[in-house]
Amino acid sequence: MANAGTTNTGAIDPLVELAEIARAEGLWHHVDAAYGGFAVLDPEVRPLLQGLELADSVTLDPHKWLMQPFETGCLMARDVTRLEAAFRILPDYMQDTDLGTQQVNFCNRGLQLTRAFRALRVWLSVQRYGLAAHRQAIAQAIGIAAEAADRVTGEDELELLAPPSLGVVCFRYRGLTTEPPVSEESLDELNRRIQDRIVQSGFAMIASTRLGDRFSLRFCVLNTRTTEDDVMQILDRVLEIGRELP
């Protein structure tokens, strides 16, 4: 399987190449686009996701970048008969519910038997706000993250820990001191404390992760109400606290 936007960094696998390998080897090719898939709505980002259309199945999470309440997960499969072969059960007490092959019964396509009509909220919000509003929200999030990444690159005391991608920016405070060399452990500890101060003070909810062996602060801009100013203020705080801490 390939990833069209990893949780950690937003990185996108080479989707075309992986699809070709899967086809040559006769493998089912699944793409996890739960986080990044809806970025296809942004015409500037869409080329990065080229190859998504070659997948045999794709997971998408409208509760991530389609502004839906959780949980509104979604799986698209090219050949739905495979799903039905895997999941369809018909115990005797359900014989009355057998709709035959002419009608869709979603309990034959996944683990859940009793399920809510989650698709309704997606349909309603696309009808109400239009795809253009969703497209604009995605482009805005990516734009804010790109501005944040530029600021991190421009500040000597900050460093990016991964290339920014699809609204995710991984970075850390490293200060100016190079003499004596600062150990990775002490940078981990410093950034953990910076995160702790920002979150505990209620100033902002900044996330963290580990990349390789390193502790990373992490922005994942998704909410339509997040502004560039919010993100810049958090970077200001990171710098202030980083300078204050011993």
Ligand X SMILES: Cc1ncc(COP(=O)(O)O)c(C=O)c1O
In this complex, which beta carbon is closest to ligand X, that of residue 76 or of residue 245? 76
Region of 32-40, 76-84, 98-106, 229-237 interacting with ligand X (CB under 6 A): 32-40
In the list 61, 152, 166, 173, the residue contacting ligand X (rule: CB under 6 A) is 61
- How far is CA 43 from each of CA 19, 38, 86, 228, 233, rounded to the nearest angstrom? 22, 11, 36, 21, 29
- Among residues 22, 29, 35, 190, which is the contact residue for ligand X, using CB under 6 A? 35
Size of the site for ligand X (CB under 6 A): 9
Which position among 11, 16, 20, 73 is part of the footprint of ligand X (CB under 6 A)?
73
Piece of the chain touching ligand X by CB under 6 A; list 3-11, 42-50, 108-116, 134-142: 3-11
Q: Is 38 in the site for ligand X (CB under 6 A)?
A: no
Q: Using CB under 6 A, which of 12, 34, 138, 142 touches ligand X?
A: 34
Closer Cβ to ligand X, 72 or 226, answer by number: 72
Q: Which stretch binds ligand X (CB under 6 A): 29-37, 137-145, 190-198, 207-215?
A: 29-37
Q: According to the binding rule CB under 6 A, does residue 209 interact with ligand X?
A: no
- Site membership for ligand X, residue 66 (CB under 6 A): no
For ligand X, the binding residues (CB under 6 A) are 5-7, 32, 34-35, 61, 71, 73
